């Protein structure tokens, strides 16, 4: 079986019909940018998203299957080789899943924490923290929502 087929929503907007069940729970929806849906069959042997960071504080709600997140605090920016030019989402040249310490020697000093999210669990994602996402099970479903501020 090939490993690169990815029928996955990749953060498409959460349909409004699903907001009541999966939208930003416990908070005022007006304070959030529209929620994103991550749903589908996804390879489990490669990262679902490569190392990057988002500009806002957010939440990741795990609904189906498990996900493992590898997180680096924002103050490790100088060790992870983030792209200097980016729009909203800042990717890194350094790839933790296939580390090249010859090209990216400072990354050896980077320290991460790894968290497994189970269905029904919600992770707070601090603004500016770098993260890489691995789906541990397929199919998989998560909903993410970020504060506007």
Contacts to Fe ion by CB under 5 A: 54
Would strands 130-135 and 90-91 be described as parallel, antiparallel, or unpaired?
unpaired
Which helix (H) or strand (E) covers residue 144, if one does?
A: strand 140-146
Provide the minimum distance between the beta carbon of 24 and Fe ion in the complex, in angstroms, as a whole number.
Answer: 16
**15 or 55, CB closer to Fe ion?**
55
Q: What angle do CA 19, 69, 85 make, to 5 degrees?
A: 85
Distance, in Å, from the CA atom of 96 to the CA atom of 99, rounded to the nearest integer, reads 5
Please identify, using beta-carbon distances, which residue of 79 and 90 lies nearer to Fe ion: 90
* Closest separation in Å from C-beta 55 to Fe ion: 10
Q: How many helices (H) and strands (E) does the chain have?
A: 2, 10
Decide: helix, strand or coil at residue 107: helix
**Nearest distance from C-beta of residue 98 to Fe ion, angstroms:** 19
Q: How far is the CB of 140 from Fe ion (least distance, A)?
A: 15
By C-beta, is 54 or 121 nearer to Fe ion? Answer: 54
Q: Which is nearer to Fe ion, 1 or 124 (CB)?
A: 124
């Amino acid at each position: 079986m090939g490993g690169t087929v990815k029928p996955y929503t990749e953060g498409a907007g959460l349909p409004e019909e699903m907001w009541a069940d999966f939208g930003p729970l416990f908070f005022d929806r007006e304070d959030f940018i529209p929620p994103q849906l991550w749903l589908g069959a996804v390879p489990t042997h490669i990262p679902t998203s490569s190392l990057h960071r988002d500009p806002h504080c957010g939440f990741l709600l795990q609904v189906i299957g498990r996900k493992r997140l590898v997180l680096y605090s924002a103050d490790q920016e100088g060790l992870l080789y983030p792209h200097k030019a980016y729009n909203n989402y800042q990717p890194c040249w350094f790839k933790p899943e296939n580390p090249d310490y010859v090209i990216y020697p400072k990354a050896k000093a980077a320290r991460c924490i790894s968290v497994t999210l189970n269905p029904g669990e919600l992770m707070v994602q601090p603004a500016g923290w770098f993260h890489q996402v691995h789906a541990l099970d397929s199919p998989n479903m998560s909903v993410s929502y970020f504060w506007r501020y």
